[in-house]
Amino acid sequence: MKPPVFDYAAPVSLAEATDLLVRHEGDAKVLSGGQSLVPLLNMRLARPAILVDLARIPDLDWVRADDETVAIGAMTRQRTVELSREVQARHPLLHAGLQLIAHPQNRNQGTVGGSLAHADPAAELPALALALDATFDAVGPGGARSVAAADFFLTYLTTALAPTEILTAVRFPTLARRTGWSIIEVARRHGDFALAGVVASVGLATDGAIDRARLVLFGVGATPVRAAAAEGLLVGQRAEAAVFARAGARAAGDLEEPLTDVHASADYRRDLARVLVGRALAEAAARARAA
Ligand SMILES: Cc1cc2nc3c(=O)[nH]c(=O)nc-3n(C[C@@H](O)[C@H](O)[C@H](O)COP(=O)(O)OP(=O)(O)OC[C@H]3O[C@@H](n4cnc5c(N)ncnc54)[C@H](O)[C@@H]3O)c2cc1C
């Protein structure tokens, strides 16, 4: 299908871009990589009067990594981050998650900021952001502000960004020492959105007990879902299969009604979540032991 008619603007500064968003408030859409927005236009599920393309705005395409943080400009292509040696070395979890997004062709176009602002509940980057307590930087007519990941994803395809705000960067903390990680998902075909997926991290004390855990599920709710009660079941326990299975059952049991669609029923997604949590925890614990 062809998109409806729209105007197109390619501002050269954030001030010019936010000005356009204010002038066309509610009727403008930011364009980044177009990998989600263009299909929505073509299917006429979005009908903005104007697209505000961020491509010509300088200083939105960068990766900066140190021991504590991997910070990424919003217009950085997903593939650029995936191929960054710095990211591979300092943030293997982020690197692994990026490889699960769509196909290399989509990652060559799709941006980190676009995926986060789009907030598809089955997408990997929003789940990683929630699991890692990332911070989002945005600018709007009122100036710049930062939003914690826990406050960013509101519901299906909806974030805390106002229609006049632009996401400019995201900061992902790196994992602490003796912390293992996992990101796993089930999709019908390689490159498809996940039917369900899990991001897990596990920290081990010197006696081998779990001293911290983080579990975020994706594809099973209107946003990425933190499984806080299941995390609580893990802390202080031995890192072993029976403990992981209990956490999986709790995480799945606590889900509000997961989506039923042509790809999978809610029950199937819930059961996938249960199984994937157990597997992700086992993988994360093995990495923590080896760390
Ligand atoms: C075949 C296919 C398979 C895919 N599979 C996956 C998958 O498995 N996992 C996955 O996560 N994604 C998947 N995607 C989507 C992913 O490729 C997109 O990159 C991502 O969702 C959007 O990034 P984008 O830069 O293309 O954003 P766009 O499509 O340009 O924008 C998406 C939305 O975010 C808004 N937006 C964009 N940038 C900003 C900004 N800086 N500030 C404020 N708002 C902004 C836009 O207005 C729009 O509403 C798939 C896409 C395709 C085509």
Q: Could you give the CA distance from residue 89 to residue 174 in angstroms, rounded to a whole number?
A: 11
Q: How far is the CA of 200 from the centre of ligand 1 (A)?
A: 23
Residue type, 70: V
Q: How far is the CA of 9 from the centre of ligand 1 (A)?
A: 19
Q: Could you give the CA distance from residue 30 to residue 37 in angstroms, rounded to a whole number?
A: 9
Please give the model's pTM, rounded to 2 decimal places.
0.97
Provide φ and ψ at 226, rounded to 5°.
-85, 130
- Both structure tokens of 211: 């001293």
Residue type, 111: T
Asked if 54 and 60 touch (Cβ cutoff 8 Å), the reply is yes
Q: What is the dihedral of CA 254, 120, 134, 53, to 10 degrees?
A: -170
Question: In this predicted structure, what is the pLDDT of residue 61?
Answer: 98
Question: In this predicted structure, what is the pLDDT of residue 1?
Answer: 75
Q: Could you give the CA distance from residue 255 to residue 226 in angstroms, rounded to a whole number?
A: 10
According to DSSP, residue 158 is labeled E
Among positive and negative, which fits the CA dihedral 276, 281, 284, 286? negative
Q: Could you give the CA distance from residue 110 to residue 133 in angstroms, rounded to a whole number?
A: 22
Greatest Cα pair distance in the chain: 64
pLDDT < 70 stretches in the chain? none
Q: How far is the CA of 126 from the centre of ligand 1 (A)?
A: 11
Question: In this predicted structure, what is the pLDDT of residue 2?
Answer: 86
Q: How far is the CA of 109 from the centre of ligand 1 (A)?
A: 9
Q: Which residues have C-beta atoms less than 6 Å from ligand 1?
A: 29-37, 54, 74, 101-102, 106, 110-111, 113-115, 117-118, 120, 123-125, 161, 166-167, 191, 193
Candidate from 8, 27, 36 with most ligand 1 atoms within 8 A of CB, to mutate: 36
Question: In this predicted structure, what is the pLDDT of residue 182?
Answer: 98
Q: Could you give the CA distance from residue 287 to residue 291 in angstroms, rounded to a whole number?
A: 6
- Both structure tokens of 239: 């890192």
